[in-house]
Chains A and B, each alone.
Chain A
Amino acid sequence: MRSDIPDNDKIRVRLFAILREKVGEREITITVPTGITVNHLNNEILNKYPQLKSFSNKFIISVNCKVTTGNTIITSKDEIALLPPVSGG
């Protein structure tokens, strides 16, 4: 195996509400280099699913059920979700 090829992680991302409808899936998988941040994942998602670009400032990314900063490093073991503005009650 060549050592100069970076390892990749398959990150599973759950989608909810209008974002789920726009993509047509409850969960998507994004292949990214190991050790990426939430911000990097966000860019990868928008590149792969351009229909979400108009919502890019209208959702947050949760990691393991917590709202996190864009600098948080994620792995394939983390539970990731895209959450549009909430409206329960």
Chain B
Amino acid sequence: MKYLHLILSALFRRKTRTIFTLLSVLAAFLLFGLLDSVRSAFASAGNDIAGVDRLITVSRISFTLSLPKSLLDRIAATPGVAEVSYANWFGGIYQDPKNFFANEAVAPNFLDLYPEWQLSAAEREAFRKTRTGTVVGERLASQFHWKLGDKIPLEATIFPQKGGSNTWTFDLVGIFHEIDPKQKDEEQVLFFNWDYFDEARAFGNGDVGWYVSRVSDRKLAGRVAQAIDTLSADSDHETKTQTEQAFQASFISQFGDIGMIVAFIMGAVFFTLVLLTGNTMAQAVRERIPELAVLKTIGFSNRSVLLLLLSESILLIVLGGAAGLALAGVAVSALSANIGGALPMLPVGADIWLRGLALMLLIGLVVGSLPARRGMRLRIVDALAGR
């Protein structure tokens, strides 16, 4: 620590060069922060802590096929199931197909299974009582500037109404918010009453898209899932029951290997960064050879010179990298507030910072090692003589 001043003054010996290098490092880590935020959003989609005790039951053939409602009572009677609810995918469009968000018809007790979505008792009650009522997530409401009492028309893509009309109009009676800041993407959804939906739709009446059940003991989840699937075994509507985590993880994995794409891009970025800062550090050491010789002359050991130079390169990367990650944090919160569901992103939190810092230290060491060794091996006589 006592040498910090020395390191800093060495670093800013050539201000322009250091600042340009810092800005390059900043750009690299800004990109790292943004991409890692997206990557971890995809990776954590199946890791919602709140979802561990929920099971999702869909048709074994394909989750796009519906199931009979008669399964409800039988699932409820399965030992280990504490509560069961159901829902249907509606797939409605608000104004323009570009405004994509999930909208689902849900059973009266559906929201009870999701305690992480907070909805006031009054709004919960209003949703139960209003036939055409709808509840949306806070982020979705702010994206379209909806407020309580608004009428929200959706164009059906799958389910026309009995009269043949494709337009379903709902009354906004509640706005919920997700308590886990990492799962704010779950606010990108609209719910309405299944009973109204089932009464008004032209076909498919009595069919349910999927069941969601809460198990009384999460350790028994696997066994309960099997028991549920046994209910419909060998019937013509066999089911597949998974934990919510597993269900989401398998869905997300279908978008493609996001981790690999991010790794490829960051590989290219960090490779060029190492070369760029490596060059800067090499220049910096080359220019300072006589100074380093003086340091050694007045008693700095080879090891201290090595450590000084290494710290200098690490500091260079950490300064630029930290600024880049901080900027990424600002950018992510601005982006997710504005484009919302278009691209899932996690806030730049402790885990991304830790990974980032580890990378900074590593790159700092790699970049500094060659110039620092050169500084360490310097022979005073040669260096002072300019040989």
Question: Do A and B originate from a single complex?
Answer: no
